[in-house]
Structures are given as C-alpha cells and as structure tokens.
C-alpha cells in the first residue's frame, strides 16, 4: 500500500530506537505507520500522540485486524477545518489511487459556519483528478464518531482520513471526541494529521 502510493515511511519497530530518535526519524519521512492502541495501552498510545503532535507529519494507524492494501474506498471525515484540510493534503497519494472517495460531514454537532464547505473540497480534489462524492449526516441523534464509524462500515470503506483534535486537548480529555474515539477503537486504517 505504501510503496504503491509513493510514500516514504518510518515504522515503529526499528531496533534500539527510543522515543526521541523515533520522533527525529519521523520528522524526515513522509508518513509514520503505527499499530492502533486502545485506551489501556499507555506506551503505545503515548507513541501515537507523540507522532501526531510532535513530528509535523501525518500518521497512519493500522487497526488490530490489519489492512487491505491498497485502500480503494476512502472516507474523508470533513468538518472543513484547517486540520481536515491538512489530513486531505497528506492523504493525496492514497486518494489518487482510490476507486471511490467520499467526504462525510456531520452537521448539528458543532458550529460549521466558519468551515470550508464540502463542495469546495470536491472542487479541490477535482483539480487533482480525484472524484469525490459528498455525504451529510445529522449529529442530533448520535455523536459524530458513531455516525462516521457506522457510515464507514455500511459503505465498506478501506481507510478513513481525518484531521485530529480540533478541540483543545483538555476538552477532548474531559468530553471525548471523534479523534479520541477513533484512537480508542480504530476499526479501519486511519490517516490523520494535526
């Protein structure tokens, strides 16, 4: 999957590397790939958060059941934020190879009035010869994480692209959130960026 997308990566299993050399290596590679870690796996979870916040590079998290290379059906969790835009930009090598790209926006959960609309994302991707379908779900009944997870499963998506931690980390720790939900339980490969 990675080689086909033309992405240089650093893996988390390099022998003799501690946290700082790992972060240094990640900063000069295109993508970091880590195994998913549930909420109770503190060292692995710390590595994920360090890679996400301290490298300036995107992170691909692989769920426990693995992944089917290459991802042909990609879901973008689009809230129109700068972090969502960055995640999409970082996912371009994968998006170019996909057979289907869908951008899902969950409304009614947070204020999206200042966010870039999905139609603008669709036009941006079209300029890169990537077709994109738009989908919208209302978050009144369920949380955004539940809706994204359900949509990804019902549409048989192979990868999720999502910006990370739009809310402050303190608010995320207290209230939870979409990023925390997917870090706690990653049902499909997740490409994320901060």
* Residue bearing tokens 């999409």: 88
pLDDT tens by residue, 15-38: 444 456 888 888 999 999 999 987
- Helix 82-90 / helix 118-127 crossing angle, nearest 10 deg: 30
pLDDT of the residue at 143: 86
pLDDT of the residue at 171: 44
CA atoms of 48 and 173, how far apart (whole Å): 15
CATH number at residue 49: 3.40.50.12370
For the chain, how far is it from start to end, CA to CA, in angstroms?
Answer: 22
Q: Is the pLDDT of residue 1 over 50?
A: no
pLDDT of the residue at 190: 95
Q: Is the pLDDT of residue 6 over 60?
A: no
CA atoms of 6 and 8, how far apart (whole Å): 7
Grade residue 41 by pLDDT with cuts at 50, 70 and 90.
confident
Q: Which residues pair with 162 in a beta bridge?
A: 77, 192
Q: Is the pLDDT of residue 72 over 90?
A: yes
CA atoms of 156 and 171, how far apart (whole Å): 31
Q: Is the pLDDT of residue 14 over 90?
A: no
Q: How many domains does the chain have?
A: 1
For the entire predicted model, the pTM comes to: 0.84
Tell me if 152 sits within 8 A of 160, measured CB to CB.
yes
pLDDT tens by residue, 146-169: 999 999 999 999 999 999 865 555
pLDDT of the residue at 20: 66
Determine the structural domain holding residue 25 and report its residue range: 2-193
Tell me if 75 sits within 8 A of 155, measured CB to CB.
yes
pLDDT of the residue at 119: 95
pLDDT of the residue at 173: 52
Grade residue 177 by pLDDT with cuts at 50, 70 and 90.
confident
CA–CA distance from 114 to each of 51, 88, 95, 157, 168 (Å)? 28, 18, 25, 28, 17
Q: Which residues contact 186 (CB under 8 A, 6 or more apart)?
A: 36, 61, 62, 63, 64
Tell me which range, 6-10, 106-110, 153-157, is most confidently predicted by mean pLDDT.
Answer: 153-157
Mean pLDDT of the chain: 83
The pair phi, psi for residue 133, each rounded to 5°, is -95, 150
């Amino acid at each position: 999957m990675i080689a086909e997308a033309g992405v240089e990566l650093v893996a988390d299993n390099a022998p003799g590397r501690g946290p700082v050399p790992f972060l240094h290596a990640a900063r000069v590679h295109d993508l970091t790939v880590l195994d998913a870690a549930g909420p109770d796996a503190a060292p692995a979870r710390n590595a994920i958060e360090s890679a996400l916040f301290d490298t300036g590079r995107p992170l691909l998290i692989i769920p426990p059941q693995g992944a089917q290379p290459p991802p042909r059906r990609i879901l973008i969790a689009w809230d129109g934020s700068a972090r969502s835009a960055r995640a999409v930009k970082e996912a371009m090598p994968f998006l170019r190879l996909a057979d289907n790209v869908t951008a899902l926006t969950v409304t009614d959960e947070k204020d999206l009035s200042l966010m870039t609309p999905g139609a603008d994302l669709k036009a941006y991707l079209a300029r890169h010869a990537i077709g994109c379908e738009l989908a919208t779900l209302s978050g009144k009944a369920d949380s955004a994480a539940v809706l994204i997870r359900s949509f990804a499963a019902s549409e048989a998506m192979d990868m999720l692209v999502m910006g990370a931690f739009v809310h402050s980390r303190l608010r995320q720790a207290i209230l939870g959130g979409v990023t925390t939900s997917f870090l706690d339980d990653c049902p499909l490969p997740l490409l994320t960026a901060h």
